[in-house]
Each structure stands twice: as C-alpha cells, then as structure tokens.
Amino acid sequence: MKQDNDPIEQLLVLHRDEVLREWLAEVAASSPSAGAAVGASAAADAAALLDAFVAGLRAGADAKRFDDIGWEPVRNTLETLSRARAARGSLAGETSHFVLALKKPLFSGLQQSPHTEPQHVLAAVWRVSTLVDRMAQFTMDTYQRSREEVIRRQQEELLELSTPVVKLWDGVLAVPMIGTLDSSRTQLVMESLLQRIVDTGSELAIIDITGVPTVDTLVAQHLLKTVTAIRLMGADCIISGVRPQIAQTIVHLGIDLQGISTKASLADALALAMKRVGYTVTKTKG
C-alpha cells in the first residue's frame, strides 16, 4: 500500500502550502457561511489534518480501509476537530463540507504531477476521493455521538434536578415529584432517597406527587417499590399530593395502597410526619 500512496504523499510533502491554501480558499468560495463558521481556527485545523494525513500515508495505511491502524492519527484529529466545532456551535454539515473541500486541491495537484503515469493518476484520484468521503462521514458520526452525549448528560442533570431530596425537619425527608414517573427516574429517586436516609438517620420520608400529572398502574408500581425499599431501610413513608382525580384512578385500577399513609397536601403530610417523630406544632397567640 505504501507504493500506491506515493503520488499522494509526494504531492502533500512537496506542495503542502499550496494544497493548504487552495483547500481553505475552496471552503470559503463554495460555502461562505461554512468558511465564516470556522473562523481563525480553519488554518490550524487544516494544517493538523494534513499532517495527520501525511503520517498515515507514510505508515502505508490502506486507502480503501479507513479503519486501518495507519489512519489512527487522522481519525484522532478528525474526532478532536469535530467535537471542538460542535462545541463552538458549528453544524455537522459545515464540518463535513470542510473535509470534502480537500478533494479539489488534491485532484488538481495529482493531475498536474509531471512524473506520474495517467493510469496511476486516475487510481490515486479514486483512492483520495474514497478516503476523503470516509473522512467526511467520520466527522458526521463523531458529531452525532458528541451531540447524543451532550443530550444524555443534560437529561441526567435535569433528572437529578427534578428529583431533589429535601430535609424538612430532623428525621423527616421529602421528595417532590414533578412530571412523569418511569423506571429510570424511579431508580434514581430510590437511590438518592435511600442514601439520604442512611446519611441523616431519618425515620420518615414524604413522597409528594402533586406535580405528577397522571397515575396509572405503572406509576403506582414504581411508588410501591420505592415505599418497600424505604421500609427495608427501617424508615416509613407518606405519600402526599393525592388529588381527587388520582384517588379515583387508583380505586378504578384496583391498586392496593393499604398500609401506606396518604395525604392530600404536603402540609398535611408534614403535620403527620412531625407527630410521628414526636413533635407537637402549636400556634402561638399573635
């Protein structure tokens, strides 16, 4: 494969600056918005990618297989470039266009090579075209993965923020639930609540479902699992925020909440919790 790469390597070694200049000019000319999006970092990105490209050619990497170990410097450079551009707000298409613009100076340089046979030029052009296409596709895949990672991280952060465990009083914790309950969220609530029970030595936990829009069989099962886990830790649980609609739904579904204290509001649940842990709340005369 080293011999097949020779014409491309010679072009990039002997005419690196020309290729780099034509590449950046092609980016700006064919898509001004993409050229503007990369800003002053375009030259540095292009130079780093060309250097990695030459390293792959010198290693004899197979131009037909972008997963060849010889192209690892190129893959690493593309991944860094793609993630950096995604963080700056560039679109996936802009990064892909940036890479594809490399074709024109490479094609032009290979065709003007005075020491290469026409059939070898054609073969080299085809290898370059295939390789650059795969490089562009790699940037798209990397961009997609990076965006998915950001979205997943944001979802996890929002999930944690939406299920805080609050200490209301000595021995009394509360978890205000907002939104739909699913398996992953219930698991997170359970883990956070059980850990806080251990950390604080609390005797009671209030699960407030005022912000839960609907309660179906699945949601009720998640609540029951959480209550069971709390009891296994030696604490007890009160469910608050049971509105008339939710109460009717629970009855119609035949869900058994016997043995679990329920209250219509968080205030009522807190009053019951205070009584259970031995506190008496009295109103002073104003």
CATH number of the domain where residue 251 is located: 3.30.750.24
Taking the C-alpha atoms of residue 207 and residue 269, their distance in angstroms, rounded to an integer, is 9
Backbone angles phi, psi at 282, to 5 degrees: -125, 150
Helices 41-58/72-87 angle, 10° precision: 160
Mean pLDDT by 10 residues, the chain (286 residues): 67 86 85 51 86 86 82 91 80 86 87 68 82 90 83 71 80 86 77 90 92 82 86 92 86 82 91 87 74
- Tell me, yes or no, whether 114 and 208 share the same domain: no
**172-178 and 166-169 strand pairing:** antiparallel
Number of structural domains found in the chain: 2
- Tell me, yes or no, whether 98 and 213 share the same domain: no
pLDDT at 35: 44
The SS3 assignment for 82 reads helix
Residue 189 in contact with residue 177, Cβ under 8 Å?
A: yes
pLDDT at 197: 92
pLDDT at 38: 45
Q: What range defines the domain where residue 172 resides?
A: 166-276
pLDDT at 215: 80
- Tell me, yes or no, whether 8 and 63 share the same domain: yes
Looking up tokens 């021995």 gives: 171
- Tell me, yes or no, whether 113 and 202 share the same domain: no
**270 domain residue, yes or no:** yes
Last residue of a domain, one of 131, 157, 183: 157
- Tell me, yes or no, whether 90 and 118 share the same domain: yes
pLDDT at 238: 94
CATH number of the domain where residue 47 is located: 1.10.490.10
pTM of the model: 0.56
- Tell me, yes or no, whether 194 and 136 share the same domain: no
pLDDT at 85: 80
